[in-house]
Structure 1
Amino acid sequence: ADALVAAGVVSDRSEAFASILTSHSRYFVQHYAPDPTTAVELVRAAGGVPVFAHPVASGRGRVVGERTYREMIDAGLLGLEVEHRDNPEEGREFLRGLAAKHGLLMTGSSDYHGTGKPNLLGENLTAPEVLARIEELATGSVVVRG
């Protein structure tokens, strides 16, 4: 996205992702992507803690139905990213209820990938106790602090 902005092809990163770096673009190259359940299983098998990122951000494309949530939970999903700028409040309420019902962790994220997008570093944080729980549940690597 930054290269497209630097070359003057688009005015900003948001335009790059909306027009060129999207699966609807004529430049899109098909690639393998596991289905959500397989992704959860692979993350768990690797010792990771699968958290579904911005699951109700309909502005980013397709959102999943309740059946997919159930399948992911059955496969070992451990959390939902509830606090994210692209999750509408109605969707956040749905996610909070789903998390409470199934004992899932609730995380937040700024989804900050550098300047040039509206996301602010440090917005929508994950609570410290939730981060600690994620670290406890992870078995795939050692947590490094510094």
Structure 2
Amino acid sequence: HILGYGLDPHHPLVQESLGRVLEGRAWRNEQILEKLNELGLELDWAEVQACAGEDIVGRPHIAQALIDRDYVSAMDEAFDKYLAKGRPAYVDRYRLYPEEGIRMIREAGGVAVIAHPFSWETDDARLEAGLRTLQALGLGGIEAVYSEYTPEQTVTLLRLAKRLGLLVTGGSDYHGLAKPDIALGRGFGALDVPDTCLPPLLAALGPDNPWVTTPNLKVER
């Protein structure tokens, strides 16, 4: 994933890119439901939409609909049996290429940061090479503090960020129903993103960025 901090959500390139992503997601959802129905697991769109409420429909909502129909007993079972990659109802999704995402974020005034990079590449040397390639395209930072990282992995990424001159950010990877054990901002309970991550990020975004708010927080830019 490429994270975008401080970007203008109304920028034409953002709207155009997100439109393509949403169209791809809608097509994917239809294909997943077709596959499930072919497997004898009858679901209709209204059931899935009811699980999503006002959220954008994704696989977690389809999984919840399967639970509600008693086809499976838990979210993990829905993914393990049907919805995960390689399972019978899996459908690949449309995604932006990294260079497209980075360009979109930068043109919209934001800073592009790669999320949990060890999920992308676990070999240190290959990871550094990949980050250098993305940095040449405009990548600005690394999510070095993350719910599922060991202390050793965090230290490795902090050192890598310093060596490459990239910003450091952190995140819980909260995904609602998809990851019920992860709390927003706290991960599994012990996540602590250092306050020292914020000033460099704000400085990179600039003092006039209208999409950055820091209520009740005094930060020297």
TM-score, with structure 1 as normaliser: 0.73
How many angstroms apart in 2 are the aligned matches of 1:90 and 1:121?
Answer: 23
How many angstroms apart in 1 are the aligned matches of 2:192 and 2:79?
Answer: 24
In the alignment, is residue 127 of structure 1 matched against residue 190 of structure 2?
no
Aligned partner of residue 82 in structure 1, secondary structure: strand
What RMSD in Å do the two structures reach over aligned CA positions? 2.9
In the alignment, is residue 43 of structure 1 matched against residue 105 of structure 2?
yes
Match for residue 63 of structure 1 among 121, 124, 130 = 121
- CA deviations on 1:34-57 (whole Å, 9 max, x unpaired) are 332332222212212111111113
Paired AA for residue 193 in structure 2 = T
Q: Match of 1:117?
A: 180
How many angstroms apart in 2 are the aligned matches of 1:18 and 1:138?
Answer: 41
Moved more, 47-56 or 110-119: 110-119
Aligned partner of residue 107 in structure 1, secondary structure: strand
Count of matched residue pairs: 142
How many angstroms apart in 2 are the aligned matches of 1:69 and 1:137?
Answer: 18
Q: Match of 2:5?
A: none
Moved more, 28-37 or 93-102: 28-37
Q: Match of 1:143?
A: 212
Q: Kindly indicate whether the alpha-carbon contact (under 8 Å) linking 2:132 and 2:164 is maintained by their aligned counterparts in 1.
A: no
Q: CA deviation at 1:99?
A: 0.2
Q: CA deviation at 1:16?
A: 4.2
Change (3 A) 1:28 1:100: same
Paired AA for residue 118 in structure 1 = D
Match for residue 107 of structure 1 among 169, 177, 193 = 169
Structure showing greater radius of gyration is 2
Q: Match of 1:30?
A: 92
Change (3 A) 1:16 1:74: farther
- CA deviations on 1:62-110 (whole Å, 9 max, x unpaired) are 5373332111111111111111122344432321121011121212211
Moved more, 115-124 or 66-75: 115-124
Q: Match of 1:85?
A: 147
Percent identity over the alignment?
30
Moved more, 15-24 or 93-102: 15-24
TM-score, with structure 2 as normaliser: 0.52
How many angstroms apart in 2 are the aligned matches of 1:132 and 1:19?
Answer: 45
How many angstroms apart in 1 are the aligned matches of 2:77 and 2:117?
Answer: 22
Q: Kindly indicate whether the alpha-carbon contact (under 8 Å) linking 1:44 and 1:50 is maintained by their aligned counterparts in 2.
A: yes
Change (3 A) 1:142 1:28: same
Change (3 A) 1:144 1:23: same
Structure 1 regions of 5+ residues with no counterpart? none
